[in-house]
Amino acid sequence: MDRRIFLQLAAAPALLGATDELPSYKVVSHFPAARSTETPGPYRGKVVRVHSENVIDTASEKIDQTGVDKMLSTGITSLTGAKSEKDAWASFFSPSDVVGIKVNCSGAPVIRASPEVVSGIVRNLISVGVKPANIYIYERFLNQLTSVHYERVVPEAVQIVAIETPAGSLTGYDPKVYVEVSFFGEDDTRSNLARLVTERFTKIINVPNAKEHQASGVTGCLKNLAYGDFSNVARSHMREKTNTLSFIGTLAAVEPLRSKCVLNIMDGIRAVWHGGPFSEEKKYRFYPKQMMFSTDPVAMDRLLIDLIEDKRKAEGAPSLWDRSSALIDRRAHLDYHKNTFIREPGHIEYAAKTFNLGEYDKSRIKLTSLDV
């Protein structure tokens, strides 16, 4: 008989105002809880940031594949301490693995996990014996995924799969693994985990972009996993005061998603400082020309907050932490002086404190910055 896990989450006073109350979540999964060796993984609190000045031509936005390959090699060997790139990848993956590469294509075709980054990851997986047919590049929505054309840069046998069909079918989700919560009395209160995660993958590589998000503050590792692997998640930010603070971490901690995500590689070659998760105007894009590597999604997302916050400050935009109702205008999401929602960058700290998903305290984050 399935072992079911039920979690009732209490309010976290350090993160919330006195009048705020968190929703009550029921998490149902028959998978065992994470062991201490799983997320945030063997390199808890360790982040490697690799910068390459020439990796992208900002005028044409053309990315240099050789530059990306050097960044991948430098990042993975520095993170693991391995003597070679192949040894570094082999410390995570073996020929028997079925690997899901969770890309982020919500801002596609312009802002997405770069094909150059994804193809580099695929080549390295193949180099350690993972069969091309056992490598899946996946995302929730087919139209976003196909607009990027990953098929042009990876071997034909590599699977490129969307969780939801064009007709909106939800058969790609597992009915036995879900989070149930009512945010505003909606009819559909259940968010189910993708079958690919519960039934097919043995390991997941999380490849988010560096983006501001109107509701959650930023879209990083945690949100790419949570909202990219579960159904029915947009309801968390249907109103000005959202539930992204607690929902993102709750989803990211569900088994087996938590345990199967063994590596995070953030594509920060280009980034979005306003108007996220999309990129409707180029003026809200910028070019950090970097990638980050970690097994710890919280630590990486904590550094992402600083990246986006510093850029917004330089542009004269409100802080990600500004909760003033005077800034709210639901019709003005492309006005950087306004907020569509009350942003919740605190979801990252919440995930750390409530679910032990990683290190949020910067004094406990060991950052290595490298140039190639």
Entry pTM: 0.93
Give per-residue pLDDT as tens, 28-84.
999 998 776 677 999 999 999 999 999 999 999 999 999 999 999 999 999 999 999
Distance, in Å, from the CA atom of 327 to the CA atom of 229, rounded to the nearest integer, reads 31
Burial of 337 (0-12, 13-18, 19+ CB in 10 A): exposed
What crossing angle do the helices spanning 221-229 and 297-315 adopt, rounded to 10°? 110
The per-residue pLDDT for 276 is 86
Residues 6+ apart with CB under 8 A from 128: 86, 89, 90, 93, 94, 95
Distance, in Å, from the CA atom of 187 to the CA atom of 164, rounded to the nearest integer, reads 20
Question: In terms of Cα–Cα distance, which of 276, 273, 275, 277 is closest to 285?
Answer: 273
Give per-residue pLDDT as tens, 105-164.
998 888 999 999 999 999 999 999 999 999 999 999 999 999 999 999 999 999 999 999
The answer on pLDDT for 15 being more than 50 is: no
Q: What is the mean pLDDT of the chain?
A: 92
Question: In terms of Cα–Cα distance, which of 56, 53, 6 is closest to 33?
Answer: 6
Question: In terms of Cα–Cα distance, which of 119, 273, 138, 275 is closest to 193?
Answer: 138
What's the alpha-carbon Rg for the chain, to the nearest Å? 19
